[in-house]
Amino acid sequence: MRVLVVVASKHGSTVGIGEAIADVLRSRGIEAGVFRAGAAPPPARFGAVVLGSAVYTGHWMPEATDWAELHADALRARPVWMFSSGPVGDPPLPAGDAAVDLGDLPGRLRALDHRVFPGRLERHRLGFVERALMTAVHAAEGDFRDWPAVDAWAQGIADELARVHGYAEET
Return the domain boundaries, the chain: 2-163
* pLDDT for res 131: 47
Strand partners, 69: none
114-129 residue pLDDT tens = 999 987 765 556 554 5
68-100 residue pLDDT tens = 999 999 999 999 999 999 866 666 656 666 778
Query: Quick check: 171 pLDDT over 50?
Result: no
pTM: 0.85
Please compute the mean of the pLDDT values over residues 49-54 and round it to a whole number: 97
Q: What is 2-163's CATH topology?
A: Rossmann fold (3.40.50)
User: What is the distance between the alpha carbons of residues 111 and 79, in angstroms, rounded to a whole number?
Assistant: 7
User: What is the distance between the alpha carbons of residues 78 and 95, in angstroms, rounded to a whole number?
Assistant: 29
* pLDDT for res 82: 98
